[in-house]
Amino acid sequence: AFKACCTEMLAKWEDETGEAAAAEVDVWPHLQTLSSDAISRTAFGSSYEEGRRVFQLQKQLGAIIIEALRKLYIPGSRFIPTKRNRKMVEMKREIESRITGIINKRLRAIETGEAPSESTDLLGILLESYHTQTQKKGIGLREVIEECKLFYIAGQETTSSLVVWTMILLAQHRRWQERARDEVLRVVGSRSDDEDEDIGFH
């Protein structure tokens, strides 16, 4: 997932810089998109395009909530049908609806045998646990929805911040940059993007 997202991001950078020998690129928006897309692919697999919209909504909802927290809080104010409160309710409903739709689509694929036999994303793992609920060991559909939402909230900012910090350190320490490049070339070599062999840790 991360490799595919990085490849797409680098292609966009190449389009922006063109044939120029050197160019300045504001990487922060790209890295935020990178982390969101990587999390979407990890969470929803082949349904990541649908998941991307869910995460966009959650990001917008989070911004509205933070803005509300900066203002004077009046007990019970969240129940007043203001423009902002109505917007938050609409966004919450759309998030729930979209996640439920993705889950139902995956459940139908499992029932018809179209889904992979082994779970390759977070949603598949959660649904495996959901199927064991009848034995009182798994989680319910509500928990699956909440876990998908939490996965984004916990991972989006931390992932993009980690990548930014890594890039800063590599820019400051050219020797580390060279060693990292040498290791990638040694481990990955000239393999194409179509090869799906596990690389593992070295």
Which CATH number belongs to the domain containing residue 8 in this structure? Answer: 1.10.630.10
pLDDT at 201: 42
Tell me whether residue 21 is in a domain: no
Cβ–Cβ under 8 Å, residues 139 and 147: yes
Range of the domain at 124: 2-15+26-187
Percentage of residues in the chain having pLDDT higher than 70: 85
Mean pLDDT estimate for the chain? 79
pLDDT above 50 (res 171): yes
Tell me whether residue 30 is in a domain: yes
Tell me whether residue 52 is in a domain: yes
Q: Assign residue 189 a region: left if phi > 0, alpha if psi is -120 to 50, beta otherwise?
A: left
Tell me whether residue 35 is in a domain: yes
One-letter amino acid for residue 41 of the chain = R
Tell me whether residue 201 is in a domain: no
Cα angle 177, 178, 180 (rounded to 5 degrees) comes to 65
Q: Tell if the pTM clears 0.85, that is, is over it.
A: no
H helix or E strand, kind and range, residue 135: none
- 124-151 confidence digits (pLDDT tens): 888 877 776 655 666 777 888 888 878 7
The length of the chain, given as a count of residues:
202
- 84-122 confidence digits (pLDDT tens): 889 989 998 998 888 888 888 888 887 887 776 667 788
User: Based on the structure, what is the number of domains in the chain?
Assistant: 1
